[in-house]
Amino acid sequence: MALAVREILGSLADEERRQIVYDGDLLVFKAVSPMREFCAFTDALIRESLDTGDPVRAQFEMDRDDYLARIETLQKRFREHEDAKRLFLAALESTGVDLGRICWDWLYLRVLPSGEEYASGRAAKLGHHRDTWSSNVYSQTNWWAPIYPITAGRTLAFYPDYWSRPLNNTSGVWDLEEVRVRRRAGEPVALVPEPEEPVDTASELRPVISPGDLLCFSGAHLHASVPNATGIARFSVEARTVDTGDAALNVGAPNVDGASPRVALNWFREVRGGASLAEAADPRET
């Protein structure tokens, strides 16, 4: 099956969107109106936190450690900011998401500076992975948006061939609690499960969308950050949502190679109610 990138002007019915995502197509919601305010809000926070008039080149205005410390503070401020959440949820709602049906984990501001010297550590890019290798939640839907203009050298890459093709990976032995303990101890550790064989990149797809657009895709897609050598940092925002009803019924994308021993329902909380997905979608009650 050939997977597609579908551009949507306006909204989609919640159920239709879920089905498209579970079938593997990528959705780009164009010029989502609350995203204009969201990007302006985030831009202001970035400028203030980095103390710069040129956010995408700020890494060249200060030394690496100072830059990374400022990024860390920025990410924390962003994550805790009620306006960020409010505006992003308004954007989801305007694409047709029924906020009463979903759980999410958190809103994350990812910064991918340009250049090899940032290839490890906190601002490192994410390698090839499926989010479902770690969450094991096949109704998980990912949302992704750039704050500033991006190019094919500064975006996400997808590998549609692997939608239905297994890739050997470490999900069967990966454990988030162990990752946390080892990170606290300062040990090098993979933040997400990794492939255990070379990735065939023949089907690579690099969507280039505009600030104000929202990319929506299944957490079961194999994807990665494109290594950034453009001389301009990538600032993007991401969130993961799960439809509570679908999670309860085990409806979602196919699992072709995930082997995680447990389902991470407790990573997600209701947007409206606040209960964890583990409580909201307890399969024993369905």
Angstrom distance (rounded) from CA 220 to CA 226: 18
Angstrom distance (rounded) from CA 125 to CA 111: 9
* 227, amino acid identity: P
Taking the complex as a whole, the smallest distance from the CB of residue 225 to Fe ion amounts, in Å, to 9
Residue closer to Fe ion by CB (options 90, 126) is: 126
Angstrom distance (rounded) from CA 229 to CA 115: 5
Binding mask 176-215 for Fe ion (x = CB under 5 A): ----------------------------------------
* Three-point CA angle 22, 24, 92, nearest 5°: 65
Say if CB 174 and CB 193 are below 8 A apart: yes
How does DSSP assign 53-96, residue by residue?
A: S-GGGGGGTS-HHHHHHHHHHHHHHHHH-HHHHHHHHHHHHHTT
Residue closer to Fe ion by CB (options 98, 175) is: 175
Taking the complex as a whole, the smallest distance from the CB of residue 239 to Fe ion amounts, in Å, to 11
Taking the complex as a whole, the smallest distance from the CB of residue 36 to Fe ion amounts, in Å, to 25
Say if CB 162 and CB 270 are below 8 A apart: no
Cα 191 to the center of its chain, rounded Å:
14
Total residues at interface with Fe ion (CB under 5 A): 1
Tell whether residue 136 is a contact of Fe ion (CB under 5 A).
no
Tell whether residue 131 is a contact of Fe ion (CB under 5 A).
yes
Residue closer to Fe ion by CB (options 42, 135) is: 135
Taking the complex as a whole, the smallest distance from the CB of residue 129 to Fe ion amounts, in Å, to 6
Tell whether residue 25 is a contact of Fe ion (CB under 5 A).
no
Residue closest to Fe ion (Cβ): 131
Map the footprint of Fe ion across residues 243-282, applying CB under 5 A.
none
User: Helix, strand, coil % (nearest 5) of the chain?
Assistant: 35, 20, 45
Please report how the helices 33-50 and 64-80 are oriented relative to each other, as an axis angle in degrees rounded to 10: 140
Residue closer to Fe ion by CB (options 25, 131) is: 131
Taking the complex as a whole, the smallest distance from the CB of residue 157 to Fe ion amounts, in Å, to 11
Q: What is the DSSP letter of 220?
A: T
Of the candidate spans 47-55, 66-74, 129-137, 206-214, the one that interacts with Fe ion by CB under 5 A turns out to be 129-137
Residue closer to Fe ion by CB (options 21, 58) is: 21
Of the candidate spans 99-107, 130-138, 225-233, 239-247, the one that interacts with Fe ion by CB under 5 A turns out to be 130-138
Map the footprint of Fe ion across residues 36-95, applying CB under 5 A.
none
Residue closer to Fe ion by CB (options 50, 192) is: 192
Taking the complex as a whole, the smallest distance from the CB of residue 223 to Fe ion amounts, in Å, to 6
Quote the longest CA-to-CA distance of the chain.
56
Taking the complex as a whole, the smallest distance from the CB of residue 119 to Fe ion amounts, in Å, to 18
Burial of residue 258 (number of CB atoms within 10 Å: 0-12, 13-18, 19+)? buried
Residues that bind Fe ion (CB under 5 A): 131
